[in-house]
Amino acid sequence: MGLAKRMMTDHWNGSCPACHAPLAHETMMPHYIKEWTILGCRQCGYHAVSPLPSRGAIEAHYNDDAYRQADDLHYAKSRSRKRRAMLRALRLWPWFRGRTVLDIGCGGGFMVEAFALFGARSASGIDMSRAGIAYATAQARRGAYRVADVESLLSVPERYGFVFCSEVLEHLPDATLLPRALAACVQYGGYALVNAPDIGHRETPADLTQWPALCPPEHLQWFTSDGFASVMERHGFVRRRRLRARGAAFSDLFLRVDEKNPSLSGSGSDVLSQGDRMGLDHSLRPLQERKRHDDAL
């Protein structure tokens, strides 16, 4: 069966799942990695595994003991993860302080604890990995944790002022699942920070088979930064900031807006006062010095 016909039988359904452009042979970019076929859209740059693994296979992958290398007492590289979480939370402080925070794909809860420490009204995390949640719960001082997937957020009553989602988008089997989930759980005027591999980044190799982020079945889909922002716009978000990310990735901050009632959207706190900035710089300094020391070892 040819690609153009086969795509009609899977999640592409004859059009790009991200931008809905009609797909013909000349608008597709197929790549092959081992037994996997990766389909790509020339219009928006979206790529995805085709056909997708079953939901059961995906869940089994994330609950394999080797995946998280964690239990209730141990989490791989926990010390460095805690330090990086502290630095990252401090940099995101203007957007989450005083807000209810959710970390989607929280792993061992390092970002949740950092958010709670540095001014979140409350902080919680969800993850599909039972081992990760067991560790986070056992080590928790401030956060709350539960085993849940992104799809569960479509039906929860809670609304959050800041949702953090790092290295989750590429694991999902649906181009619009995360935007729909964020639209359901981020309050108007709230923020969502999404970090994911950027297939359009200048550091992404031209030969995608040489890109470490192209690693099915762990990663199932890949966006460009602008392509994902377009999907988010269709679900009630506007991109406010493009933050610095490591390597071939994007780290974009989105504001939840209500087009029918703009007053509910707010303007957020994008700018720190001089006093806050001085306090933030003072808090960052020992962590930055510790990182430089560790990197030199």
Q: What's the whole-model pTM score? A: 0.84
The gap between the terminal CA atoms of the chain, to the nearest Å, is 55
The H-or-E segment that residue 43 falls in is none
CB-count exposure of residue 283 (10 Å: 0-12, 13-18, 19+) = middle
- Rounded to 5 degrees, φ, ψ at 76 are -55, 130
Domains of the chain: 70-286 (3.40.50.150)
Please name which of 118, 116, 90, 91 lies closest in space to residue 103, comparing C-alpha atoms.
Answer: 116
Give the pLDDT score at 291: 47
For tokens 């807000």, the residue is: 99
pLDDT in tens, the chain (297 residues): 344 444 434 567 788 999 998 876 555 677 877 788 888 898 999 999 988 887 777 777 776 666 556 565 778 888 999 999 999 999 999 999 999 999 999 999 999 999 999 999 999 999 999 989 999 999 888 999 999 999 999 999 999 999 999 999 999 999 999 999 999 999 999 999 999 999 999 999 998 889 999 988 889 999 999 999 999 999 999 999 999 999 999 999 999 998 777 665 655 444 443 434 444 444 444 444 544 544 444
Return the pLDDT at 197.
98
Q: What pLDDT is attached to residue 53?
A: 81
Whether the link from the prior residue into 217 is cis, omega within 30° of 0, is: yes
What is the pLDDT, as a whole number, of residue 82? Answer: 94
Q: Quote the pLDDT of residue 56.
A: 79
Question: Residue 70 has what pLDDT?
Answer: 59
Rg (CA), the chain: 20
Contact by Cβ (8 Å): 14, 21? no
Question: What pLDDT does residue 138 have?
Answer: 93
The answer to whether the beta carbons of residues 127 and 147 sit under 8 Å apart is: yes
Bridge-based pairing of strands 36-40 and 31-33 is antiparallel
What per-residue confidence (pLDDT) applies to 224? 98
Task: Please give the Cα distance from 280 to 297 (Å, whole number).
Answer: 27
Q: In the chain, which ranges are continuous DSSP H helix?
A: 3-6, 55-62, 65-68, 78-91, 93-96, 110-117, 130-139, 177-185, 225-233, 274-296
- Per the DSSP assignment, residues forming a β-bridge with 22 are 15
Cα(41)–Cα(20) distance, rounded to whole angstroms? 10
Q: Is there a contact between 229 and 240 (Cβ–Cβ < 8 Å)?
A: no
